[in-house]
Amino acid sequence: MEALKQKIREEGTVLSEQVLKVDAFLNHQIDPALMQQIGHEFARRFAGLGISKIVTIEASGIAPAIMAGLELGVPVIFARKYQSLTLKDDLYTAKVFSFTKQTESTIAISAKHLTSADHVLLIDDFLANGHAAQALIDLIRQAGASIAGVGVVIEKSFQAGRAELDAQGYRVESLARIHSLEGGQVSFLD
């Protein structure tokens, strides 16, 4: 998606060979018009698949997910993160290890909002090592729902998450695929 790549080139900051900072338009300050274009693009790529619900994770997944939900005409659920969580019967839970923060948290979705009748599009802002995506897949499977695909705003293709999802047979659509951040430069895959 060219508008997104352009935005990354202009406003993204390469902090290291692993870390791209996009807090100017995606995960702290958000550009609503770009989010609308992103939602439109996700809806186009996942059209006609009978998606009934979008699942994402707080907080940075919400903006792109809500715009995709608006275009596809389906509700969005965001998994909540907890530092500690007293287990409740009415929640699906999974653990996520954050590589950036080096901490483990629990994410949860209320059981009443996701059922075996749902066909789910998973959306997130970043795909790196894939820990968040795998935890979301875990939650969706606990509900007995099926997975239509995974929509990612920015994929760091040089980390393990994408290859793992491919190997598991999921359809992954990433709107910007980053081949490398070496030398402080963003180099895209295509």
Residues that bind its own copies (CB under 8 A): 23-25, 28-33, 35-36, 58-59, 62-63, 66-67, 69-70, 73-78, 80, 83, 109-110, 113
To the question of whether residue 131 is assigned a binding role by annotation, the answer is yes
Q: Which residue has the tokens 């993204």?
A: 12
Question: Is there a contact between 79 and 136 (Cβ–Cβ < 8 Å)?
Answer: yes
Minimum CB–partner distance for residue 152 and its own copies (Å):
18
Host H or E run for residue 97 = strand 91-98
Question: Is there a contact between 39 and 68 (Cβ–Cβ < 8 Å)?
Answer: yes
Q: Which is nearer to its own copies, 67 or 165 (CB)?
A: 67
To the question of whether residue 33 is assigned a binding role by annotation, the answer is no
To the question of whether residue 132 is assigned a binding role by annotation, the answer is yes
Minimum CB–partner distance for residue 74 and its own copies (Å):
8
Distance CA 119, CA 146 (A): 5
Q: Which residue has the tokens 């202009």?
A: 10
Residues in the annotated binding site for 5-phospho-alpha-D-ribose 1-diphosphate: 128-132
Q: Which residues are annotated as a binding site for xanthine?
A: 20, 27, 156
